[in-house]
């Protein structure tokens, strides 16, 4: 019985770790959609706007404003509508954590 509890606990921890890893990968997939304009991991080419290292709260405010149509844009208002507010928060946090 004691050994079963240990294996059950180990399995639970492993499942939690795999779930967290899958979540990180999902955020990278969402963020990859930004690469065309903002570069890989948010590091844009010359003339583009870098997202890497930006303040996550400021980024989220801007993304939500795009989503609501409160901020002028050529395409960002359409792209932002494709994500939930929570997904936009996770994307903002991802880019904020990247080195500029």
What local confidence, expressed as pLDDT, does residue 66 receive? 97
Residue 21: pLDDT band (50, 70, 90) is: low
| CA angle (39, 18, 34) in 5-degree steps | 15
The Cα 60–Cα 67 span in angstroms is 10
The pLDDT-based confidence of 42 (bands split at 50, 70, 90) is very high
Residue 18 burial (C-beta neighbours within 10 Å; 0-12, 13-18, 19+): exposed
* pLDDT score of 10 more than 60: no
Whether residue 90 is predicted with pLDDT greater than 60 in this model: the reply is yes
Q: Which two tokens stand for residue 87?
A: 């997904």
CA distances from 89 to 5, 45, 60 (A): 37, 24, 6
Q: Is the pLDDT of residue 63 over 70?
A: yes
Q: What is the mean pLDDT of the chain?
A: 86
Q: What is the pLDDT of residue 60?
A: 98
Q: Is the pTM of this model over 0.85?
A: no
99-to-8, 52, 53 alpha-carbon distances in Å? 39, 6, 5
Q: Return the pLDDT at 8.
A: 58
């Amino acid at each position: 019985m004691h050994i079963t509890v240990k294996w059950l606990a180990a399995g639970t921890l492993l499942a939690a770790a795999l779930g967290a890893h899958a979540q990180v990968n999902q955020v990278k997939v969402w963020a990859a959609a930004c690469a065309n304009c903002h570069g890989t991991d948010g590091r844009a080419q010359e003339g583009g706007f870098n997202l890497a290292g930006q303040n996550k709260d400021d980024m989220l405010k801007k993304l939500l404003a795009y989503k609501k149509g409160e901020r002028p844009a050529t395409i960002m208002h359409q792209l932002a509508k494709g994500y939930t507010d929570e997904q936009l928060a996770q994307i903002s946090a991802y880019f904020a954590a990247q080195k500029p």
